[in-house]
Amino acid sequence: MSGHDRKRDPEAPRADDQPGNFVAELVEQELAQGALPRRLMTRFPPEPNGYLHIGHAKSIALNFGLATLSKDGVCNLRFDDTNPETESTEFVESIQNDVRWLGFDWGERLYYASDYFDQLYAWAEQLIAKGLAYVDVRSEEAIREARGDFHRPGVAGPERDRSPEENLALFRKMRDGGFEEGEAVLRAKIDLASKDVKLRDPLMYRIKKVPHHRTGTKWCIYPMYDWAHGQSDAIEGVTHSICTLEFVNHHALYDWFLAALEIPEPPRQIEFGKLNLSYTVLSKRRLQRLVNEGHVRGWDDPRLATLAGLRRRGYPAEAIVAFCERIGVSRNDGVVDIGLLEHEVREHLNAHAPRRMGVVRPLKVVLENYPEGQVEQVELANHPMDPSMGTRTVPFSRELWIERDDWMDEPPKQWFRLGPGREVRLRGAAIVRCTEVVRDADGVVQELRCHWDPESKGGNAADGRKVKGTIHWLSATHAAPCEMRLYERLFADENPNAAEPDFLAALNPESLEITQGFVEPSLKDAAAGARVQLERLGYFVLDTHDSRPEHLVLNRTIGLKDGWAKIAAKL
RNA sequence: UCCGGCGUCGUUCAAGGGUAGGACAGCGGACUUUGAAUCCGCGAAUCGUGGUUCGAAUCCACGCGCCGGAACCA
């Protein structure tokens, strides 16, 4: 996992190509100065109420990466399960699976905020005894009204002055089920006139007569985020509690609770700018709509930026982590160009994906002068730059499939693929010239007749003439049929969140195209989830759900950069 | 409008008062049995106005813009 290791000399100047990470710099400095009160500890604290997406990956990479800065640093996985209404073990499992897939290991340190419910409760009684918390029995509306707003300070009610004894009795009644939901809450007694609205006597506990996925029916009161989070950090010994910018508004409250409990050497909250990605939607609510309303085929739809979706799409975990490190960490609230993610995916796949041939839109080619029934085996490298990946053989015969896009009726001079009378190289096999075009009644090309140059075995002309174009091909009698799922970006608009009337208006109607193509027979032996490059087309992955040897399904992870498209655009 | 956060190439991240740099994207070229990859090159930015200073992206002041905050969500 050396890729996650950011360790470097804090005194050394930053290398030009190392992205900034102000949190890592801060921690490195503290480490160098011996300023930490205990061993370095971070945590990744998801709420188990949804699937992880690439925004979470940034947080995961940050937290687990920070832990590697110190030899005994650790990062905990802690489920922030304080709201039983929305949480479930289904998500607990998918989240662990996704974090593990990214390549991170929390060891034995799997925790739940619900593990701390007893301690939290005891602490709450302590605050009540100190006169720092009280039970409020007014309605939700009444409490909100009395809290004021941005321009109006809150006003205190009579319950604020109740004695600790009365509050303790009321709180125990809450715990014991003596109140119905909504009838009472425990609030911290801070400052109803604070400019910081979060400090206007925030709620610590509310009543929910709902069973919890781990504590069952033991509790009917559940702690709020602000009351649970910092205290959970303190219990575990977390040194740096990293969260996103929307929690800046909670920072003072985070510190207040720890101070009120007189926690020595309290954890420190540090906020960073979360990831936003162009052409992508990451909010839980919007992801939910896409799934529930059937705009995609589920949480792991390859068009979604969920980790499950990206995985099924064929994005390597290493590329996602590399991306998270590439974008850096700051307090800016920016939108990262999805092209950067795609770059990291191509970079990883270019190095690691074995090459294969496949056609997405088949066009039949018959080599008129190639002997009927003859088959020869062509040996091809699995990777052009990495001989260690070996070679494979591909059958070649009289009838072939080529890519329909490699044919043009009236090609411009810049075109060096196939056209009437044009010559092209079949990758690794031979040179052929188009001699006849067979069309149907509508003029649509049905088949190409080509002349095969027997003196061009392997693709080199015996007379030394240059052939500029090389295209991929498949022996029609040997090729394996394959369902091709061609994915594009889910949204056509760079910022779907700004679309009117809502983000759904920005959906790309062509985000999925399915074709019936062919691939080399060798793909029938490939494992589900295997990633390959179909030469000249892009990177593909055997679909983990639907692909079987007798019915291959390939998902296009991402296309290769298309230099011809740029030329064509300028014609 | 009150509180808080943030403003640097198209995007993202740098530059402890001293030549504004990298990556991605873009553009141009070389190479190429993947129009890929690779290699070489080019263009491109300090929100504004004042101030301090020999010197300001950096310090100060005042503006402007964007984001977050008034959940019994996290």
> Tens of pLDDT along A149-169?
999 999 998 889 999 999 999
Q: Are residues A333 and A363 in the same domain?
A: no
Residues 244-303 of A with CB under 7 A from strand B: 245-250, 273
> Does A156 fall in a domain?
yes
Residues 201-230 of A with CB under 7 A from strand B: 203, 206-207, 222-225, 228-229
Q: Which nucleotides of B are covered by protein (CB under 7 A)?
A: 1-8, 10-15, 21-25, 27-28, 33-38, 66-74
Tokens describing residue A154: 């809150």
Length of chain A in terms of residues written = 571
Q: Are residues A220 and A230 in the same domain?
A: no
Q: Are residues A126 and A81 in the same domain?
A: no
Q: Are residues A292 and A400 in the same domain?
A: no
Q: Are residues A216 and A125 in the same domain?
A: yes
Tokens describing residue A336: 């990262």
Whole-angstrom distance, CA of residue A52 vs CA of residue A307: 6
Return the half-sphere exposure (C-beta side, CA atoms, 13 A cut-off) of residue A270: 23
Q: Are residues A139 and A103 in the same domain?
A: no
Residues 297-356 of A with CB under 7 A from strand B: 326-337, 339-340, 343, 346-347, 350, 355
Could you tell me which residues are beta bridge partners of residue A475? A400
Q: How far is the CA of A500 from the C1' of B49 (A)?
A: 37
Collapsed DSSP state (helix, strand, coil) of residue A346: helix
Reported in sequence order, the residue ranges of A154-239 that DSSP labels E, i.e. its strands, are 185-188, 203-207, 221-223
Q: What is the pLDDT of residues A387-434, one digit of tens each?
A: 999 999 999 999 999 999 999 999 999 999 999 999 999 999 999 999
Residues 71-100 of A with CB under 7 A from strand B: 80, 82-83, 86
Side chain identity at residue A416, one-letter code: F
Write down which residue in A317, A347, A377 finishes a domain: A347
Instruction: Report the candidate in A133, A223, A126, A136 with the shortest Cα–Cα distance to residue A185.
Output: A136
Q: Are residues A60 and A145 in the same domain?
A: no
Whole-angstrom distance, CA of residue A344 vs CA of residue A351: 11
pLDDT values of chain A reduced to their tens digit, one per residue, 571 residues: 333 333 344 444 455 678 999 999 999 999 999 999 999 999 999 999 999 999 999 999 999 999 999 999 999 999 999 999 999 999 999 999 999 999 999 999 999 999 999 999 999 999 999 999 999 999 999 999 999 999 999 999 888 999 999 999 999 999 999 999 999 999 999 999 999 999 999 999 999 999 999 999 999 999 999 999 999 999 999 999 999 999 999 999 999 999 999 999 999 999 999 999 999 999 999 999 999 999 999 999 999 999 999 999 999 999 999 999 999 999 999 999 999 999 999 999 999 999 999 999 999 999 999 999 999 999 999 999 999 999 999 999 999 999 999 999 999 999 999 999 999 999 999 999 999 999 999 999 999 999 999 999 999 999 989 999 999 999 999 999 999 999 999 999 999 998 888 999 999 999 999 999 999 999 999 999 999 999 999 999 999 999 999 999 999 999 999 999 999 988 8
The per-residue DSSP string of A77-127 comes to: EEE----TTT--HHHHHHHHHHHHHHT---TT-EEEGGGGHHHHHHHHHHH
> Does A563 fall in a domain?
no
- Residues near A538 by beta carbon (within 8 Å), at least 6 away in sequence: A556, A557, A558, A559, A560
Write down which residue in A347, A378, A402 finishes a domain: A347
Using C1' positions and the CA of A195, the closest nucleotide is B3
Q: Are residues A152 and A86 in the same domain?
A: no
What's the ipTM? 0.95
Instruction: Report the candidate in A328, A384, A325 with the shortest Cα–Cα distance to residue A354.
Output: A384
Contact present, A278 and A495 (Cβ < 8 Å): yes
Q: Are residues A90 and A231 in the same domain?
A: yes
> Does A8 fall in a domain?
no
Residues 472-531 of A with CB under 7 A from strand B: none
Whole-angstrom distance, CA of residue A303 vs CA of residue A306: 9
DSSP letter (8 states) at residue A503: G
Count: domains in chain A: 3
Q: How far is the CA of A564 from the C1' of B11 (A)?
A: 25
Whole-angstrom distance, CA of residue A125 vs CA of residue A119: 10
Q: How far is the CA of A535 from the C1' of B36 (A)?
A: 8
> Does A10 fall in a domain?
no
| Segments forming the whole domain that contains residue A399 | 355-479
Write down which residue in A209, A224, A239 finishes a domain: A224
Side chain identity at residue A91, one-letter code: F
Instruction: Report the candidate in A395, A367, A365 with the shortest Cα–Cα distance to residue A379.
Output: A395
> Does A554 fall in a domain?
no
Whole-angstrom distance, CA of residue A469 vs CA of residue A349: 24
The per-residue DSSP string of A410-448 comes to: S--TT--SB-TT-EEEETTTEEEEEEEEEE-TT--EEEE
Instruction: Report the candidate in A323, A331, A396, A395 with the shortest Cα–Cα distance to residue A60.
Output: A323
Whole-angstrom distance, CA of residue A422 vs CA of residue A408: 10
- Residues near A183 by beta carbon (within 8 Å), at least 6 away in sequence: A137, A207
Q: How far is the CA of A14 from the C1' of B18 (A)?
A: 19
Reported in sequence order, the residue ranges of A262-330 that DSSP labels E, i.e. its strands, are 268-272
Whole-angstrom distance, CA of residue A301 vs CA of residue A320: 17
Q: Are residues A300 and A190 in the same domain?
A: no
> Does A568 fall in a domain?
no
Using C1' positions and the CA of A223, the closest nucleotide is B72
DSSP letter (8 states) at residue A18: S
Q: Are residues A342 and A250 in the same domain?
A: yes
> Does A2 fall in a domain?
no
> Does A12 fall in a domain?
no
The dihedral over CA atoms of A309, A312, A317, A321, expressed in degrees to the nearest 10, equals -20
pTM of the predicted model as reported, rounded to 2 decimal places: 0.95
CATH number of the structural domain spanning residue A90 = 3.40.50.620
Collapsed DSSP state (helix, strand, coil) of residue A309: helix
Whole-angstrom distance, CA of residue A559 vs CA of residue A530: 16
CATH number of the structural domain spanning residue A206 = 3.90.800.10
Q: Are residues A104 and A132 in the same domain?
A: no
